[in-house]
Amino acid sequence: MIKSMTGFGRERRVMGPREILVEIRSVNHRYYEFSAKTPRAYGYLDEKLKAFMHGAISRGKVEVSVFIYNQEGVNADIEINKEIAKGYINALRGAAGELSLEDDLKLSNVMRLPDVFTVVKVIDDEEEIWQQVSEVAGAALERFIGMRETEGAKMYEDISSRLDTIERTVAKIEELSPASVEAYRQRLYEKVAEVVGDRNIDEGRILTEAAIFADKIAVDEETVRLRSHIAQFRELLKSSEPVGRKIDFLIQEINREVNTTGSKCQELEITRMVVDMKAEIEKIREQIQNIE
């Protein structure tokens, strides 16, 4: 079944010490165009996400946003600079002896002194981060594809209905086309009769002219091709593969056959039918611009 190129998917999960949010959105585009918004420290995820998404999306302008929230302190180690702490202690106790002060030095006193603690940032495991992000992105992608499929189902119903209308109109044209030849033959006969009066009318010449006219306005080939194109169109609509480009080409062929039919037929009723078919084709064309 066809899928729309417009979609949105969102997933948020807590993965160990991290909270990860992934959002995927897309609009129609002739090709696959990808962009990612990731935290500066996680820029290496961009190319991985591009390849990950391209496996499931063939067309559309896709934007993926990734947000990673680390719990405070989990990405850092705290180290005690023991040499500096010893220096402080020795200096304080030395001063206490020289100044005859009570030695009431406690650990809490030392811990408040400058440079005793050093914060060392822990380097993230890139592979671990990617495994977590890809898991969240996969869930967001499922929601995204689900929305595309839902929109595609609506488009399928609408386009199928319009193809039905075109097919019914083609059937009416096939019925009316022979009648228009007979109407032309009758008009030609009456005009010749009016000109020649009581003299004999060359029936053979009338039939020849009618045959030439019939050949000029015959739309049998066009209607046969129209039915063939419509049948192919229906098969493509049911395909599970991306078919947007093929359908775009096929609607051009359908439009070409309808135009040729309109240029051949001179009956007002058929001309109106051709106009109606072209209106349906334009509505289908608007829809297929958003098919993957």
Instruction: Check residue 233 and give its pLDDT.
Output: 95
Mapped onto helix, strand or coil, the DSSP state of residue 237 is: helix
Give the list of residues 6+ apart from residue 56 with CB closer than 8 angstroms, or none: 141, 145
Q: Cα(259)–Cα(35) distance, rounded to whole angstroms? A: 41
One-character DSSP codes across 239-279: -SS--HHHHHHHHHHHHHHHHHHHHH---HHHHHHHHHHHH
pLDDT tens-digit map of 39-75 = 888 999 999 999 999 888 988 999 999 999 886 545 5
pLDDT 10s digits, 6-44: 999 999 999 888 899 999 999 998 889 999 999 888 999
Q: Are 148 and 6 in contact (CB under 8 A)?
A: yes
DSSP string, 81-144: -HHHHHHHHHHHHHHHHHTT------HHHHHTSTTSEEEEEPPP-HHHHHHHHHHHHHHHHHHH
Count of CB atoms situated within 10 Å of the CB of 66: 21
**Tens digit of pLDDT for each residue in 187-226?**
655 555 555 554 565 566 555 655 555 555 567 788 889 9
CB atoms within 10 A of CB 279: 12
**pLDDT score at 98:** 73
Residue 206's pLDDT is what?
54
Domains defined for the chain, CATH in brackets:
7-71+125-148 (3.30.230), 76-121 (no CATH), 151-288 (no CATH)
Q: Residue 102 — very low, low, confident or very high, per pLDDT cuts 50/70/90?
A: confident
Alpha-carbon gap, residue 154 to 22, rounded angstroms: 27
**What gap in Å lies between CA 255 and CA 249, rounded to an integer?**
10
Is residue 284 packed enough to be buried (19+ CB in 10 Å), middle (13-18) or exposed (0-12)?
Answer: buried
